[in-house]
Amino acid sequence: MKLGIQAVLLVLAAFIAYLIYDSIQSKIELEKEIAYRTEVLVDHMENIKEAQIAFKKEKGYYARDFRQLIHFLENDSLVIVKAIGEVPDSLLGQEALALEMGIIIRDTSLIPVKDEIFVDEDFDKIIKEMPIIPFSGGKEFDIEAGEVEKGKQKVKVFEVKASFKDIFAGMDVKNEGVDLDEFMILGSMTEPTTNGNWD
């Protein structure tokens, strides 16, 4: 009988040890997945930021929706200005004068946006997936643009956001310090910034 009790206790101890190990492993895997999804989201939003900055450089304002932004990326051109010639030492800091004297000239050309942005990546894939929140099952980022007044000046702004509820869809993150009602946000509609709230 004693041997039977010891055998039962041994099996029970092994089972408890397995449950503890499994619980620790599950937590490690969950933390890895949270970190992975966050990293993918940041990369994705950095692409949106790069596209918005290029859009504003050409248009003078930010795209108010993805249709407008994607049309720009696929169909528009960037104005590239190159200086040909060199400013002599005697005219350093006086580029306008060197230009006026014909010592240097400026060459302006148009280059398709797709030849300048995301050139080392899969351009078509980035464009196709740009509005979609990764891991969300097809939900789109919220995007808006406008202007705010800062120091008596009107400043163009934009904001792109995704809720943690969509980012971590299908995951149980209740005990991981993740508030599913919060957002990952790029830019701001109240401050002139192009940074994300993860910086």
Structure tokens at 193: 């910034």
Q: Which residues contact 173 (CB under 8 A, 6 or more apart)?
A: 30, 34, 164, 180
Q: Is 68 exposed, middle or buried (0-12, 13-18, 19+ CB in 10 A)?
A: middle
Q: How far apart are CA 106 and CA 73, in angstroms?
A: 25
Lowest model confidence (mean pLDDT) among 14-18, 84-88, 139-143? 14-18
Quick one: average pLDDT of 146-162?
A: 92
- The whole-number pLDDT of residue 7 equals 62
Most trustworthy range by pLDDT among 11-25, 77-91, 148-162, 164-178: 148-162
Residue whose C-alpha is closest to residue 30's, from 138, 170, 160, 159: 170
State the pLDDT at residue 178. Answer: 75
Per-residue pLDDT tens digits for 120-136: 889 999 999 999 999 99
Average pLDDT over residues 161-171: 90
Residue 23, pLDDT > 60, answer: no
User: The pTM is what?
Assistant: 0.76
